[in-house]
Amino acid sequence: MPRKIVIVGAHAAGVDAASAARKTDRSAEITLISKEKHVGYSRCGLPFVIGGHIANFNDLIVFPQSFYQMMKLNLKTETTVTSINPANKTVEVATKAGATETIPYDSLILTTGAYSFIPPIKGKEKQGVYSLRTLEDGQQIDKAIRDGAKNAAVIGAGLIGLETAIALKERGLNTTVVELLPQVLPVMLDKEMAKIVHAMLTEKGLKILIGKGLDEILGTDKVTSISVAGEQIPADIVVVATGVRASTGLATKAGITTGETHAIKTNARMKTNIEDIYAAGDCAESINIVTKKPACPQLGTVAVRHGKVAGINAAGGYALFTGVLGSAVTQLFDTQIGVTGLTEFFAKREGINTVTGTITSKTRADYYPGAKPIKVKIVVEKESQRIIGAQIIGGEEATQRINALSFGIQKQMTIRELAKADTAYAPPLCETWEPMVLAAEMVLMKLR
């Protein structure tokens, strides 16, 4: 009898789990179930369609129908899994039309993702208030712009909040960003690095309000403005980007354990506490490589790696997930931002004694046309002298530098080893002294 693998969810983690399972077991019956109409698309690309960089929302669909046919995957869309019965090893599903079905499994993978968290804001039910999580969310915001919206407010200055605010600005809307915490990108950057980004965003025409909460969304049926610390700001569109929460309702109802982060607790094989049930993606917990504590960074890169490990194991193979650093990059207007590991703030919160080094340099030889500024900050554990985090803000080449520093953290590289790194140079590509090495030298000066 062929192995029956059921996967709940059909985005990054789910589709990668299905693909890995198929490569591990060629004869398995693999069923993917999603409550959404559109599956296998990139959520990360949504702001860039709104901003006009990508022509159409359908361009975000990474896996067309032909992929599922080629991989012999049974895809069920607009279908909701209503319950899991671990004793009988079945899932109950309901279609959009109301039909129900019981589907048996040998292995079950939960890739239920996350949902947009909207705090209890007065007036959040008004027309013109959106979150940005699904293709349909993006289409609704795009339609509102096409229908003549002139002013927008984005609540939250995290990664998605700022990318969305820039997209709205690029479409010609007067855009205000409201952040309750005292800086932009509070999870990604330390305060002094965030100030650089804040200044750049303001210079580009975004209005940024930090350290202030949203009092109320105003208007009758439709939003007309927002109230922030007593000030009324015009808004035809309000996008709430206050983060996401792991979708664990289905799992907890079936007796599956959640962890410290409120996501599904898994081991290194992505197994849950119930035999033959795995979890992957935004709904699943990981271990932070530096702190060795549970983490849930909810990044696309983590989702696909989770999915691969879960898929291999669910299909009878053997694979391990080694942990996360929360490595992330973005581009805000012309500025690239990257982060890996712990910021100085979060390291101190974990009780880690740190030394940091920060340097401002150029991405090419100073005399070469087009050389752009770059700022590198490295966070080092003082006692072991190991690198535990890094942040980069620059005009270009942030991604591969952050990737290199991520490799260094994973290999437990010390700051002395980085300072001696053999790096490449050519005037159109890099300075003779690599900025990461210069930042390492700054740390060594403090250690001396």
Give 208's strand partners.
177
> Which residues neighbour 215 within 8 Å (Cβ) at sequence distance 6 or greater?
122, 226, 227, 228, 229, 230
| Structure confidence by residue, pLDDT tens digits, 212-256 | 999 999 999 999 999 999 899 999 999 999 999 999 999 999 999
Of residues 44, 283, 296, 430, which has the active-site annotation?
A: 44
Q: Quote the pLDDT of residue 204.
A: 97
Instruction: Indicate where the chain has its CATH 3.50.50.60 domain(s).
Output: 4-115+245-314, 118-242
Residue 300: what residue type? G
Grouping H, G, I as helix, E, B as strand and the rest as coil, residue 253 is helix
At how many degrees (to 10) do helices 12-24 and 300-314 cross? 30
Q: Quote the pLDDT of residue 410.
A: 97
Instruction: Indicate where the chain has its CATH 3.30.390.30 domain(s).
Output: 337-442
| Burial of residue 47 (number of CB atoms within 10 Å: 0-12, 13-18, 19+) | buried
The verdict on whether 44 is a catalytic residue reads: yes
Tell me the two tokens of residue 31.
């069923």
Q: Which CATH architecture has domain 337-442?
A: 2-Layer Sandwich (3.30)
Would you give the DSSP letter of residue 319?
-
CA 260 to centroid of chain Cα atoms: 19
- Model-level pTM? 0.95
Q: Quote the pLDDT of residue 289.
A: 98
Give 130's strand partners.
239
Q: Quote the pLDDT of residue 313.
A: 98
- R_g of the chain, CA atoms, integer Å: 23
CA distance 196 to 204: 13
| 8 A C-beta contact, residue 42 and residue 62 | yes
Would you give the DSSP letter of residue 222?
B
* CATH code of the domain made up of 118-242: 3.50.50.60
405: left (phi over 0), alpha (psi -120 to 50) or beta: alpha
Q: Quote the pLDDT of residue 137.
A: 97
Below-70 pLDDT ranges, the chain: none
* CATH code of the domain made up of 4-115+245-314: 3.50.50.60
| Residue matched to tokens 């939960």 | 110
